[in-house]
Amino acid sequence: MTTFKRLFVFLFFPLAAPLLSCTASIDGIVREGGSADITISAAVEPRTVALILSIRGFMGGAADAPILDGPAITGSMIAAPGVISASFVNAGPTALNGNLSISNVGDFLIAGDAEGQFITFTEGATAGASSITINLDRSSAPGLISRLSPELAEYLSALMAPVILGEAMSRQEYIGLVTMVYGRLLADELAAARIRASIQFPRTITAVQGGTATGNRAEFDIPLLDLLVMEQPLRYEVRW
Question: Which segment of 1-15, 19-33, 80-94, 145-159 scores lowest on mean pLDDT?
Answer: 1-15
In the predicted structure, residue 113 carries a pLDDT above the cut 60: no
In the predicted structure, residue 71 carries a pLDDT above the cut 80: yes
Q: Are strands 131-136 and 234-239 parallel, antiparallel or unpaired?
A: antiparallel
Residue 173's alpha-carbon distances to 8, 89, 142, 181, in angstroms, are 16, 35, 20, 13
Cβ(144)–Cβ(152) below 8 Å:
no
Q: What is the pLDDT of residue 18?
A: 39
In the predicted structure, residue 37 carries a pLDDT above the cut 70: yes
Report the share of the chain in percent with pLDDT over 90: 33
For the chain, the helix, strand and coil percentages under 3-state DSSP, each to the nearest 5: 40, 30, 30
- HSE-up of residue 96 (Cα within 13 Å, Cβ side): 23
As a whole number, the mean pLDDT across the chain is 78
Burial state string for 97-133 with b = 16 or more CB within 10 A and e = fewer than 16: bbebebbbbbbbbbeeeeeebbbebeeeeeeeebbbb
Domain boundaries, the chain: 3-239
First and final CA of the chain: distance in angstroms? 46
Distance CA 133, CA 210 (A): 10
| Residue 17 or residue 33, greater confidence | 33
Rounded mean pLDDT of 183-191?
81
| Residue 1 or residue 236, greater confidence | 236
DSSP reduced 3-state for 41: strand
Q: What is the pLDDT of residue 195?
A: 87
Cβ(81)–Cβ(70) below 8 Å:
no
Question: Which segment of 41-45, 65-69, 194-198, 200-204 scores lowest on mean pLDDT?
Answer: 65-69
Q: Which amino acid, residue 108?
A: F
In the predicted structure, residue 152 carries a pLDDT above the cut 50: no
Distance CA 15, CA 17 (A): 6
Q: With a threshold of 0.75, does the pTM exceed it?
A: yes
Distance CA 31, CA 33 (A): 6
